């Protein structure tokens, strides 16, 4: 099994965290999709990373599908609770929240790389505000808990830490730790995990 991705992609990082936390053997291939000769456009019709290539050649995308597949396929450390529909929904909702933060941060990153006179202020403010609201929601939901959901690590934690650390990378001016001490405390603990350390960009 091979995972195509890059070290700065937060979606790739989420999948790498799942692989590490579940101790699933997988070859990680750094493959920026826009580089000439990249395998990604030939592998994932959407031309995006992460893309997981199974041993029989099957390609799995995008990151929520990959994470769900890996969690269902391998029993080591179940990360998406399998029995209770409400708990399962909340874990997947955390993932959607985290992915949404990543989506908006990527939009802002792409927009910010355009010449200043061509940047769309509405796009920047709409996506900036979405991230601000999502962070406030996450902080309220966490409010002093050790884990996003229940009493153990789930995909929710791995998705959220991937989103927050992507903000550190791309929006270092956004002081989410200062604004939300609940997120700061939770993230500090998460950042001690070997999986998180091993996937630093
Ligand atoms: N919803 C997708 C988003 C994946 C995505 O947008 N990945 C970016 C990199 S962070 C990408 O591959 N963009 C294509 C490009 O850069 O050409 C997922 O969760 O996997």
Residue ranges in the chain modelled with pLDDT below 70: none
The residue to mutate among 39, 49, 163, having the most atoms of ligand 1 within 8 angstroms of its beta carbon, is 49
119-153: per-residue pLDDT in tens? Answer: 999 999 999 999 999 999 999 999 889 999 999 99
Q: What pLDDT shows up at residue 148?
A: 98
Q: Give yes or no: residues 32 and 95 share one domain.
A: no
Q: What is the pTM of this model?
A: 0.97
- Is residue 161 a contact partner of residue 188, using CB atoms and an 8 Å limit? no
Q: Does residue 107 sit within a domain?
A: yes
The domain tally of the chain equals 2
Domain boundary among 73, 101, 130: 73
- Is residue 102 a contact partner of residue 64, using CB atoms and an 8 Å limit? no
Q: What pLDDT shows up at residue 173?
A: 96
**Gap between the Cα atoms of 28 and 69, Å rounded:** 17
Distance 199 CA to ligand 1 centre (A): 17
Q: What pLDDT shows up at residue 32?
A: 98
**Gap between the Cα atoms of 197 and 201, Å rounded:** 9
Domain boundary among 19, 45, 73: 73
Q: What pLDDT shows up at residue 83?
A: 86
- Is residue 52 a contact partner of residue 69, using CB atoms and an 8 Å limit? yes
Q: Is the CB of 141 under 6 A from ligand 1?
A: no
**Gap between the Cα atoms of 79 and 95, Å rounded:** 11
Q: Which strands form 59-60's sheet, in the order they lie side by side?
A: 27-30, 2-5, 51-53, 59-60
Q: What pLDDT shows up at residue 137?
A: 98
Q: What pLDDT shows up at residue 41?
A: 97
Q: Give yes or no: residues 110 and 58 share one domain.
A: no
Domain boundary among 28, 51, 73: 73
Q: What pLDDT shows up at residue 181?
A: 96
Atom of ligand 1 minimally distant from the CA of 14: 19
Domain that includes residue 116, residue range: 85-194
**Gap between the Cα atoms of 31 and 156, Å rounded:** 26
Q: What pLDDT shows up at residue 49?
A: 98
């Amino acid at each position: 099994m091979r995972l195509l991705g890059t070290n700065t992609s937060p979606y790739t990082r989420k999948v790498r965290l799942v692989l590490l936390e579940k101790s699933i053997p997988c070859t990680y291939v750094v493959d920026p999709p826009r580089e000439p000769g990249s395998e990604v456009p030939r592998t994932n019709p959407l031309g995006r990373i992460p893309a997981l290539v199974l041993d029989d050649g099957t390609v799995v995308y995008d990151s929520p599908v990959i994470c769900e597949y890996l969690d269902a396929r391998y029993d080591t450390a179940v990360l998406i609770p399998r029995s209770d529909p409400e708990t399962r929904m909340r874990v997947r909702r955390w993932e959607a929240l985290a992915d949404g933060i990543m989506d908006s941060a990527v939009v802002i990153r792409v927009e910010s790389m355009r010449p200043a006179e061509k940047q769309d202020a509405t796009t920047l403010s709409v996506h900036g505000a979405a991230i601000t609201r999502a962070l406030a929601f996450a902080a309220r939901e966490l409010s002093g808990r050790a884990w996003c959901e229940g009493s153990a690590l789930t995909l929710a934690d791995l998705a959220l830490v991937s989103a927050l650390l992507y903000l550190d990378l791309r929006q270092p001016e956004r002081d989410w730790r200062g604004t939300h001490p609940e997120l700061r405390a939770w993230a500090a603990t998460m950042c001690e995990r070997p999986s998180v350390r091993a996937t630093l960009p």
